[in-house]
């Protein structure tokens, strides 16, 4: 499962639907795959929120990171809050532009409330929590890359769809617009 929206400030309703509850849809589909041996879920290295230091893979579940709350039922709480916010905006006859701006701000607000820097990593973390607590007994592995850039092979090596994060620098280099990257030549670049 590598589906997801990677916009850091995506509308909260969209990010929640895709990055969090999309996991539920994948699990439902995976249960129907009779020969499935394992589910590979692609997340992000930044799901640990704004914690510092060494964070072990086998440490307590990410839902322990939710600040000040022992029972954080996002499946109900966040879904209801999103529905209430959207209903309020519709009742106010808000324009699509106002709805988009408000829902983006709402996502950032919710993420920061619980210790995540943006909507993207917050909704990806909730997706991981949902996966961990699923009762489906599916073998699964979560990989957490820092960034995903171009393809390895398909549809052809180096293919990039859209320009995010480092992609614009790579595109500029390929077009001869970026001729050097200032920095320590001994540095390791994680891409």
Report the relative pairing of strands 39-42 and 140-143 from DSSP bridges: parallel
> If you ran DSSP here, which 8-state letter would residue 141 be given?
E
Active-site annotation holder among 46, 104, 114, 124: 124
Contact between residue 15 and residue 5 where contact means Cβ atoms under 8 Å apart: yes
Element (H, E) at 173: helix 167-174
Based on the residue annotation, tell me whether 71 is a catalytic residue of this protein: no
Active-site annotation holder among 46, 75, 120, 135: 120
Based on the residue annotation, tell me whether 85 is a catalytic residue of this protein: no
Partnered with residue 142 across adjacent β-strands are 41
Closest C-alpha among 66, 53, 74, 171 to residue 131: 74
| Burial class of residue 120, CB neighbours in 10 A (0-12, 13-18, 19+) | buried
Active-site residues, by number, are: 120, 124
């Amino acid at each position: 499962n590598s589906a997801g929206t990677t916009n850091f400030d995506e509308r909260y309703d969209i990010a929640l639907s895709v990055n969090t509850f999309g996991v539920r849809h994948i699990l439902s589909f995976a249960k129907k795959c009779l020969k499935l041996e394992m589910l590979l879920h692609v997340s992000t290295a930044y799901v640990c929120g704004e914690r510092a230091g060494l964070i072990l893979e086998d440490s307590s579940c990410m839902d322990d990171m939710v600040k000040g709350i022992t029972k954080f039922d996002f499946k109900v709480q966040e879904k209801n809050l999103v529905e209430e916010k959207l209903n309020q905006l519709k009742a106010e006859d808000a324009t699509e532009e106002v709805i988009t701006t408000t829902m983006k701000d709402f996502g950032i607000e919710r993420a920061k409330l619980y210790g995540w820097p943006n909507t993207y990593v917050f909704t990806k973390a909730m997706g991981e929590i949902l996966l961990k607590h699923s009762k489906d007994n599916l073998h699964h592995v979560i990989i957490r890359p820092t960034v995903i850039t171009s393809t390895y092979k398909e549809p052809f090596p180096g293919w990039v769809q859209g320009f995010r994060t480092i992609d614009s620098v790579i595109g500029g280099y390929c077009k001869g617009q970026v001729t050097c990257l200032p920095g320590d030549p001994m540095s390791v670049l994680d891409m």
